[in-house]
């Protein structure tokens, strides 16, 4: 039979799948009138054949190509109505990428041929064929990766400490890693990387997007790139820009090797994923995949003017998760990364998009129901960024049971409390103890709150205590981009300083902020580099900065701060100040104290001036003795009267590594340093950290 003879094939599974006799192709499009399979030479430059998919079942176009084998390079073309007023942009001159592609061929470069419409009008189809320039898919070979005895690390939710990192930025400047591996999946799996992560004691990595993504035209014209990667064009393919090609591994197998190595080190892998929009932008954007296949199905459009894209993401378009086949795409992608790539969970960018129906955000939306009943997805970690820019987009505390949420109220409250902005002791205590006001009403546990001080989005920890004003000029937007509401404090001098007093205060502030996140009730998250004093020069929005300014500067690492962070994590594991599965209720669990040792009165919780308090924890999560957490966010030392009994200091943030050898009793004066947090344990026993 001729290779170019296409049989009807099957409508499932979607994408290209090889078997012993050939390859089946299945493509969703509800509004196309014809879909063509375009075959290319091995260079992906010459179109060899254009074959109509004659099978058509429930909006899926399908065909079977006998004798075809893995490695075949292909693209798609669609015929259908050109009717922008109805949301249709079918243009057979545009070669389209299969949304289910698992291997991508070519490198995307901006070209006028990628646009489905004539740029000047956006109303007439562009007649230029983009076949030579377009990304193509390669039929994947059956997965034969040797996983060995790989399995998800057995880490209890209570022991989860998340470490957010960028694959390239984490290792690109690490001299302990061979240069060819730096900034790659292999670099993250290198023994030097694993040794650092294990020394710290983190148990889960939250990895910034690795789905295949594109750099926006505007950034390309300015000589910049989308460094963070929140601009996906495919949801199945790991981005090749982070592959080293070492040992002849494919991009997918290098990613799998990384996951296997992290699992062997006892570290879970969580992917930051972007299912809220694609790189195709608004109506003026290119036609690379989804727009040309079925724009009106994949994207949310204004019902009164379908030329207009709903932009709840701020990125030009919004995927329409309400559509069954778009929902299936997202679920199939998630299952693929769990089943085929062995990842352990996901952090969802702009997560309310996933739950939007016709009335707004709905925690019972189809996506959440589908995940909850799915035999694969219901058992992995799900973390929401609980806001988007659409109507009613701020949904902190509104996600279903079992989900975790980034808690920006925790972030802002602790920044305000420690860095001198308006804040009450009551607000601080509420965040420290799991944010029950946000989560308890929906019968959710304290672990639902992901507690962080900084993340990739904003200042680093070092910059938070070094800058009041952002320094984003390098982003090319005249310093207009990025947050103004940083709640930062430069400790007396803006930017870099050589003043010993300023540097000492900055170090103290970094330590107490780290301790606040890790002593808190909930799931803590650290940002990579904060444990070694990494600075981005005051840029609080470096999404387009792929350079040494964003790569972690290992050669300048603060070794004392690394030791401090590792000791702090060890203390968290051993002592676990607060129980993880329930909220504290009353004096049998917690007693809140003033510095004179007396219980705080109700009116004192609302005082924005006083920032000293103690918390007597009678039943800690793991420690066998009562614990006393002392807090002083004021600029001077104070004397704290301890409760009756004998006490030993287990941790003091005023010390560069957290160690302070002190023990005494309620009759022994205890000095609580300025801008500090101290943990004391009842009795005389030392803790081996």
Q: What is the CATH number of the domain that holds 640?
A: 2.60.40.1180
Q: Provide φ and ψ at 248, rounded to 5°.
A: 70, 15
Q: 301-302 and 305-309 as β-strands: parallel, antiparallel, unpaired?
A: antiparallel
Residue 497 makes CB contacts below 8 A (sequence gap 6+) with 466, 503, 506
pLDDT for 586: 62
CA 368 to chain CA centroid, Å, is 19
User: What does the block give as tokens for 645?
Assistant: 């009994």
Cis status of the peptide bond prior to 385, with omega within 30 of 0: no
Residue corresponding to tokens 């990667």: 229
Select from 353, 319, 288 the least CA-distant residue to 89: 288
Q: In which residue ranges of the chain is pLDDT below 70?
A: 1-3, 579-580, 584-587
Catalytic residue among 349, 388, 463, 531: 349
Q: Do the Cβ atoms of 614 and 640 come closer than 8 Å? A: yes
Does residue 266 fall inside a structural domain?
Answer: no
Does residue 621 fall inside a structural domain?
Answer: yes
Q: Do the Cβ atoms of 589 and 583 come closer than 8 Å? A: no
Per-residue pLDDT tens for 344-395? 999 999 999 999 998 899 999 999 999 999 999 999 999 999 999 999 999 9
Per-residue pLDDT tens for 127-157? 999 999 999 999 999 989 999 999 999 999 9
CA 48 to chain CA centroid, Å, is 41
pTM of the predicted model over 0.95: yes
Per-residue pLDDT tens for 451-488? 999 999 999 999 999 999 999 999 999 999 999 999 99
DSSP 87-149: TEE--TTS-B--TT-SSEES-----GGG-SB-TTTSSSB-----TTTS-EEEPPPPP----TT
pLDDT for 579: 66
Select from 638, 642, 626 the least CA-distant residue to 593: 642
Distances (CA, A) of 27 to 58, 74, 77, 82, 430: 11, 13, 11, 20, 50
Q: Do the Cβ atoms of 275 and 249 come closer than 8 Å? A: no
Catalytic residue among 239, 312, 385, 445: 385
Does residue 164 fall inside a structural domain?
Answer: no
pLDDT for 685: 80
Q: Do the Cβ atoms of 624 and 617 come closer than 8 Å? A: no
Roughly how many angstroms between the first and final C-alpha of the chain, as a whole number?
71
Q: Is 349 assigned a catalytic role?
A: yes
Last residue in a domain, options 79, 111, 138: 138
Last residue in a domain, options 138, 153, 171: 138
Does residue 655 fall inside a structural domain?
Answer: yes
Does residue 33 fall inside a structural domain?
Answer: yes
Q: Do the Cβ atoms of 47 and 133 come closer than 8 Å? A: no
pLDDT for 621: 75
Does residue 499 fall inside a structural domain?
Answer: no
User: What does the block give as tokens for 488?
Assistant: 């930062």
Domain encompassing residue 629: 590-682
Rounded to an integer, what distance in angstroms lies between the CA atom of residue 293 and that of residue 30? 9
Strand partners, 368: none
Q: Do the Cβ atoms of 675 and 418 come closer than 8 Å? A: yes
pLDDT for 584: 63
Does residue 439 fall inside a structural domain?
Answer: no
Last residue in a domain, options 78, 106, 138: 138
Distances (CA, A) of 447 to 405, 451, 580: 9, 9, 6
pLDDT for 3: 54
Query: Where residue 79 sits, what CATH number does that domain have?
Result: 2.60.40.10
Total structural domains in the chain?
A: 2
Residue 76, H or E segment: strand 73-79
pLDDT for 359: 87
Does residue 75 fall inside a structural domain?
Answer: yes
Burial zone of 493 (CB within 10 Å; 0-12 exposed, 13-18 middle, 19+ buried): middle
Q: Is 272 assigned a catalytic role?
A: no
């Amino acid at each position: 039979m001729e290779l170019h003879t296409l049989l009807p094939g099957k409508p499932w599974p979607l994408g290209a799948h090889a078997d012993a006799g050939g390859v089946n192709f299945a493509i969703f499009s509800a509004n196309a009138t014809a879909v063509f399979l375009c075959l290319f030479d091995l260079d992906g430059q010459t179109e060899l054949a254009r074959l109509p998919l004659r099978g058509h079942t429930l909006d899926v176009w399908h065909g079977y190509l006998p004798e075809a084998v893995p490695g075949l390079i292909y693209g798609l073309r669609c015929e259908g109505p050109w009717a922008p007023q109805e949301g249709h942009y079918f243009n057979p001159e545009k070669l389209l990428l299969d949304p289910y592609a698992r291997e991508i061929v070519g490198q995307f470069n901006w070209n006028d041929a990628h646009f489905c419409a004539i740029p000047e009008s956006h109303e007439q189809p562009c007649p230029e064929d983009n076949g030579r320039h377009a990304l193509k898919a390669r039929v994947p070979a059956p997965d034969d990766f040797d996983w060995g005895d790989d399995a998800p690390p057995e880490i209890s939710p209570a022991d989860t400490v998340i470490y957010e990192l960028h694959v390239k930025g984490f290792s690109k400047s690490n001299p302990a890693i061979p240069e060819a591996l730096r900034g790659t999946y292999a670099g993250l799996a290198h023994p030097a990387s694993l040794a650092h992560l294990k020394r710290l004691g983190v148990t889960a990595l939250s990895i910034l997007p690795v789905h295949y993504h594109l750099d926006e035209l505007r950034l390309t014209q300015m000589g910049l790139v989308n460094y963070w990667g929140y601009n996906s064009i495919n949801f199945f393919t790991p981005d090749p820009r982070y592959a080293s090609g070492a040992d002849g591994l494919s991009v997918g197998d290098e990613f799998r090797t990384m996951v296997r190595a992290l699992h062997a080190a006892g570290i879970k892998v969580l992917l930051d994923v972007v299912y809220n929009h694609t790189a195709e932008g608004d109506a003026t954007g290119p036609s690379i995949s989804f727009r040309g296949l079925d724009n009106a199905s994949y994207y949310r459009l204004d019902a009164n003017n379908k030329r207009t894209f709903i932009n709840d993401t701020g990125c030009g378009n919004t995927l329409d998760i309400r559509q069954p086949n778009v929902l299936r795409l997202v679920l199939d992608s998630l299952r693929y990364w769990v089943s085929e790539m062995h990842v352990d969970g996901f952090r969802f960018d702009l997560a309310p998009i996933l739950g939007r129906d016709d009335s707004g955000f709905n925690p019972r939306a189809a996506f959440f129901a589908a995940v909850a009943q799915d035999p694969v997805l219901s058992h992995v970690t799900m973390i929401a960024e609980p806001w988007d820019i659409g109507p009613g987009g701020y949904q902190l505390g509104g996600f279903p049971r079992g989900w975790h949420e980034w808690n920006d109220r925790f972030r802002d409250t602790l920044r305000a409390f420690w860095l001198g902005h308006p804040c009450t002791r009551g607000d601080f205590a509420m965040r420290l103890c799991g944010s029950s006001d946000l989560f308890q009403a929906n019968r959710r546990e304290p672990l639902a709150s992901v507690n962080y001080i900084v993340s990739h989005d904003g200042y680093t920890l070092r910059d938070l205590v070094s800058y009041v004003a952002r320094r984003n000029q390098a982003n090319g937007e005249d310093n207009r981009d990025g947050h103004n509401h940083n709640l930062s404090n430069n400790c007396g001098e803006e930017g870099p300083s050589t003043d010993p007093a300023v540097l000492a205060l900055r170090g103290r502030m970094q330590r107490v902020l780290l301790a606040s996140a890790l002593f808190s009730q909930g799931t803590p998250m650290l940002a990579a580099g904060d444990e070694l004093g990494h600075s981005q020069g005051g840029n609080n929005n470096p999404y387009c900065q792929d350079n040494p300014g964003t790569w972690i500067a290992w050669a300048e690492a603060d070794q004392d701060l690394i030791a401090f962070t590792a000791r702090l994590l060890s203390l968290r594991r051993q002592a676990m100040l607060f129980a993880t599965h329930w909220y504290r209720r009353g004096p049998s669990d917690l007693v809140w104290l003033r510095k004179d040792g007396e219980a705080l009165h109700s009116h004192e919780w609302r005082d924005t001036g006083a920032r000293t308090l103690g918390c007597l924890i009678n039943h800690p999560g793991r420690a066998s003795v009562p614990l006393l957490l002392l807090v002083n966010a004021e600029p001077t030392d104070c004397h704290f009267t301890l409760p009756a009994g004998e006490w030993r200091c287990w941790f003091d943030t005023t010390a560069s590594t957290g160690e302070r050898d002190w023990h005494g009793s309620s009759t022994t004066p205890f000095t609580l340093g300025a801008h500090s947090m101290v943990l004391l344990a009842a009795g005389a026993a030392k803790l081996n950290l």
